[in-house]
C-alpha cells in the first residue's frame, strides 16, 4: 500500500501492487479496473499517474481499499470466498442464528 503523506487521505493500493499480489500482468489488472469503471462499480478516482519501471513508463491507478478488494477478488478464489462470508447471511464470525422451518418449528443454523 502506498505510504500516507496526508493523514486525512485514504490508504490506497496501486494497480502495479495488485498485479504483484495476485501474480498477474499489470496490463490485465488495468483492463479489469477499466472494465469495472465502465460498469460503475469502482469508487476510486479514474485518474492515473505515470510510474517509471526501468523500461517504458506505465499508467498506474491508485485504488481505495474497497475497490482493491473488488479487483483482487476477480483473480483470487480464496479472496472471493472470504468476501462471501461478509454478506447478509451473517459474516465470517457469526454465531448460529435461529430460524423457523416450515414444519419443524425453531431450529439452529450453524455458521458457515
Reduce the secondary structure of 17-49 to three states and give it as a string: HHHHHHCCCHHHHHHHHHHHHHCCCCCCCCCEE
The answer to whether residue 105 sits within a structural domain is no
- The pLDDT profile of the chain, 112 residues, written as one tens digit per residue, is 555 567 777 899 999 999 999 999 999 999 999 999 999 999 999 999 999 888 889 999 999 999 999 999 998 888 777 766 655 544 444 444 444 445 544 545 555 4
- Is residue 1 one of the residues assigned to a domain? no
> Is residue 18 packed enough to be buried (19+ CB in 10 Å), middle (13-18) or exposed (0-12)?
buried
Neighbours of 79 (CB within 10 A): 17
* Cα–Cα distance measured from residue 38 to residue 95, given in angstroms and rounded to the nearest whole number: 38
Residue at 67 is within a domain: yes
Q: Is residue 76 part of a domain?
A: yes
pLDDT tens, residue by residue, 98-110: 444 455 445 455 5
19: in domain: yes
Domain assignment of residue 44, given as a range: 12-89
Assigned domain for 66 exists: yes
| Tally of structural domains, the chain | 1
Task: Look at residue 95 and tell me if it is in a domain.
Answer: no
Residue 39 lies in a domain: yes
99 Cβ partners below 8 Å, 6+ apart?
106, 107, 108, 109
Amino acid at each position: 500500500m502506498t505510504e500516507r503523506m496526508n493523514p486525512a487521505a485514504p490508504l490506497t493500493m496501486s494497480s502495479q501492487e495488485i498485479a504483484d499480489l495476485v501474480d498477474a500482468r499489470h496490463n490485465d489488472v488495468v483492463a479489469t479496473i477499466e472494465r469495472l469503471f465502465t460498469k460503475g462499480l469502482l469508487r476510486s478516482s479514474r485518474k492515473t499517474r505515470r510510474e517509471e519501471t526501468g523500461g517504458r513508463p506505465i499508467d498506474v491507478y491508485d485504488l481505495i481499499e474497497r475497490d482493491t478488494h473488488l479487483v483482487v477478488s476477480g483473480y483470487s478464489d480464496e479472496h472471493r470466498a472470504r468476501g462471501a462470508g461478509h454478506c447478509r447471511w451473517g459474516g465470517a464470525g457469526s454465531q448460529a442464528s435461529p430460524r423457523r422451518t416450515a414444519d419443524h418449528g425453531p431450529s439452529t443454523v450453524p455458521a458457515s
